[in-house]
Amino acid sequence: MALEGLHHVTAITADAPRNVDFYARVLGLRLIKKTVNFDRPEVYHLYYGDELATPGSVLTFFEFPGAGPGRHGDGMPYRILWRVAGDRAMDFWCARLCDEGVGFTHGDAGVLFADHEGLEHQLEIDDACDPPLAAIARDIPPEHALQGFTGVRAYASQPGTSARLLGALGFVPGGGDSGWRLAGERRRARWDYDLPPAAPGIQGAGSIHHVAWSAADDDELSRFRTVAAAAGARPTQIIDRRYFHSVYFREPSGVLFELATRDVGFAVDEPLEALGRTLMLPARYESRRAQLERALTPICDPRAAW
């Protein structure tokens, strides 16, 4: 039994239209689901991913219009790591980010940049044999497309406190004093801690809300829930999120973890070829569709033009 690397990462945005432009147009991800926050249906929950909406490529955002800027601090993930194919892909992304006016640095760690709200990203050449998870984009050559997550970095002042829980979940030490690796049969991921800045963190636009790890199905999810509880976590009951089933808990360094199943999928309520085109609502909110569509910020997926 092993978690299959990352399932998804969820962050916060204050500006859905600009968020869609950056992640669907600039980064070339596919908008795979346009729905609402199941706990606060007056705001969007937007999902991006590869062409097949595969766990391990999925980046999601809660939109809270007017939210102030976030600040990553102790107990918060702060950087998403992406895989690219090689040096030519790195050169392509440097040129593309430059053309888009996005500041970046290119060094030994790869290409580092942030979106318009300060969420950090790192592109790196990863020699893992994981299948690439890429979307089709009109002006991004397939060989240069982002190929899914390689990991996440988080801030923690006392990362050693998380060792027992991470070990119980199947993480193994690797990559320095505070680095961990998680490997399933087909996918793997890095989870690295860095010492935090002095200023306390603030949840807001551009901050990461939680990190989700990939479980096969409810049986595996239930087993990992038991394992997490035995290692000192306080997991929720299994929650139906329509596209996956989830368990949530905070790991000892303060990061909100989710374990999410990959057996349901994003094509459960609309065809794969039509993902992201229509506002999809849980059944309990369908009677409020007209009201919610008026309240939600209009967005335009650049993919719709082609």
Q: What is the DSSP string of 167-224?
A: HHTT-EE-SSTTEEEEE-SS-EEEEEEEPPPSSPPB-SBT-EEEEEEEESSHHHHHHH
User: Tens of pLDDT along 57-116?
Assistant: 999 999 999 999 999 999 999 999 999 999 999 999 999 999 999 999 999 989 999 999
Written as one letter, the residue type at 22 is F
Specify the DSSP element, H or E, that contains 151.
strand 149-155
Kindly tell me if the per-residue pLDDT of 177 is higher than 80: no
Q: What is the pLDDT of residue 105?
A: 97
Residue 176's pLDDT is 74
109-139 in b/e form (b: 16+ CB < 10 A) is ebbbbebbbebbbbbbebeeebebbbbebee
Amino acid, single-letter form, for residue 248: Y
Per-residue pLDDT, 303: 87
* Whether pLDDT at 175 is above 90: no
Q: Walk me through the domains of the chain, giving residue ranges and CATH numbers.
A: 6-305 (3.10.180.10)
- 3-class DSSP assignment, residue 33: strand
Least Cα distance to 191 among 206, 203, 208, 205 occurs for: 208
Mean pLDDT of the chain: 95
Q: Within a 10 A sphere around the Cβ of 108, how many other Cβ atoms?
A: 5
Alpha helices in the chain (DSSP H): 16-20, 87-99, 163-168, 218-230, 289-295
Q: What is the pLDDT of residue 264?
A: 97
Residue 220: pLDDT band with limits 50, 70, 90: very high
The answer to whether residue 52 scores a pLDDT higher than 90 is yes
Nearest to 168 by CA among 210, 225, 220, 247: 225
Q: Tokens 């919610």 label which residue?
A: 292
d(CA 160, CA 177): 9
Which pLDDT does position 129 carry in this prediction?
80
What is the amino acid identity at position 55? P
Q: Which of 143, 135, 161 is nearest to 272 (CA)?
A: 135
Distance of alpha carbon 82 from alpha carbon 111, whole angstroms: 10
Per DSSP bridges, beta strands 40-49 and 104-107 are unpaired
Q: Determine the Cα–Cα distance for residues 258 and 251; give it in Å rounded to an integer.
A: 10
- In the predicted model, what is the mean pLDDT of residues 241-246? 97
Mind listing the pLDDT tens digit for each residue in 118-138? 999 999 998 778 899 999 999
Three-class SS state of 112? strand
Q: Contact at 8 Å (CB) between 123 and 82?
A: yes
Q: Which of 81, 212, 213 is nearest to 149 (CA)?
A: 81
Distance of CA 146 to the CA centre of its chain: 13
Of residues 185 and 246, more confidence is placed in 246
Checking if the pLDDT of 273 tops 80, the result is yes
At which residue do the structure tokens 């406190």 appear?
Answer: 161
Q: What is d(CA 27, CA 16) in angstroms, rounded to the nearest whole number?
A: 15
Residue 283 CA, distance from chain mean position: 25
Query: Is pLDDT at 39 greater than 90 in this prediction?
Result: no
